[in-house]
Amino acid sequence: MKNRRDEKTMLTLIIKIANDDERIKIVIMNGSRASPSAKKDIFQDYDIVYLVTEIESFVHDKNWINQFGELLIMQTPDEMDGQWPKFKGKYTYLMQFKDWNRIDLTLLRMDQLETMPRDSQSLLLLDKDNLIAPFGEPSDEDYLPSPPTEKDFVNCCNEFLWVSTYVAKGLWRKQLIYAKHISEQIVKEELIKMLMWHAGIQTNFSQPMGIYGKYIENHLELELRQEFLKTYVDADYKNMWASLFKMCEIFNDLAIKISSYFGYSFNQKEFDNVIDYLQDVKNNKIPP
């Protein structure tokens, strides 16, 4: 196993490679390592942007990335999704190294500088020619959750209920893979939205919730957190039905509280009707 390089070593290397290459003009670090609130750990990526004079040479000869360390695996999403070489203004190397460090390196052509969005979680590590305005102190401003509009709230409720009927149909048909996918990927996504809004109310929308809501747990009441964790079940049909109704129970409770907090309308009758339908499907109470 490789000895793991620490943050100081990695940043020194990232800056040195840029300093030694005349094609690289500016180095910016984004993401959790620049965030003032993110908990530091060994799995934090180095989200790096190299602003460069041109990109083709960095792509045609990929041996230059060997300077960063011994790769475990690499991904080049711009080639995978067909963006390269259609658009030659950006190229990304996602690099996981054998010492557990990871660099997500975006090459951005210099003519993209003026239109490049300024990320609040950004540190300017190098600017060879003083081409970029000084950065302010990194903050989480761009990553804070927003309160829902009434349309956001109504759409979330409708989607949750609508897609929950797909889960019931899949469970009734014994289509486990289908039901599991819909339950975990779509129904739960809407529940997580509601949980994020609830957590946002608790924190005055002042704390980031993270990608896929990874920080939500830090802002939920203990009882609510424990109830939510009950929705993560195995592939047993009985447990999947229990998970679906638990999600409905949590969602309904949160929807009532959130609609009351913001003064939004919540269609309780529609919600109750859908729950009755789910119960009938579960109990095989087919209409005559």
CA dihedral 257, 259, 263, 264 (to 10 degrees): -170
Query: Checking DSSP bridges between strand 71-75 and strand 90-97, what pairing results, if any?
Result: antiparallel
Grade residue 138 by pLDDT with cuts at 50, 70 and 90.
confident
Tokens of residue 263, six digits = 């003064």
Of 113-127, 136-150, 233-247, where does the model show the most confidence? 233-247
- CATH number for the domain harbouring residue 186: 1.20.120.330
Please indicate, yes or no, if residue 2 is contained in any of the structural domains.
no
Query: Are 152 and 138 part of one and the same domain?
Result: no
H/E segment holding residue 57: helix 56-60
Residue 29 half-sphere exposure toward CB, CA atoms < 13 A: 20
Q: What is the pLDDT of residues 89-137, one digit of tens each?
A: 899 999 999 999 999 999 999 998 888 878 888 999 999 999 988 888 8
Q: What is the CATH number of the domain that holds 85?
A: 3.30.460.10
Phi-psi region of 162 (alpha: psi -120 to 50; beta: other; left: phi over 0): alpha
Note down the domain range covering 115: 7-142
Alpha carbon distances (Å) from 245 to 180, 276, 279? 14, 11, 9
Question: Quick check: is 233 in a domain?
Answer: yes
Q: What is the pLDDT of residue 121?
A: 87
**Burial, 249: exposed, middle or buried (Cβ in 10 Å; 0-12, 13-18, 19+)?**
middle
Task: Answer whether residue 114 is part of any domain.
Answer: yes
- DSSP assignment letter at 21: -
In angstroms, the CA 212 to CA 156 distance is: 16
User: E strand or H helix at 247, and its extent?
Assistant: helix 237-262
* Whole-angstrom distance, CA of residue 64 vs CA of residue 17: 10
Number of independent structural domains in the chain: 2
Residue type, 100: W
* 109/214 same-domain check: no
**Residue 136 has what pLDDT?**
84
CA distance 24 to 53: 7
Mean pLDDT of the chain: 94
- Of 91, 58, 61, 94, give the one whose Cα is nearest residue 75: 94
Are 149 and 278 members of one domain? yes
Helix segments in 72-130, DSSP class H = 77-80
Which neighbouring-strand residues pair with 102?
A: 96
Give the mean pLDDT of 244-271: 98
Report yes or no on 237 lying in a domain. yes
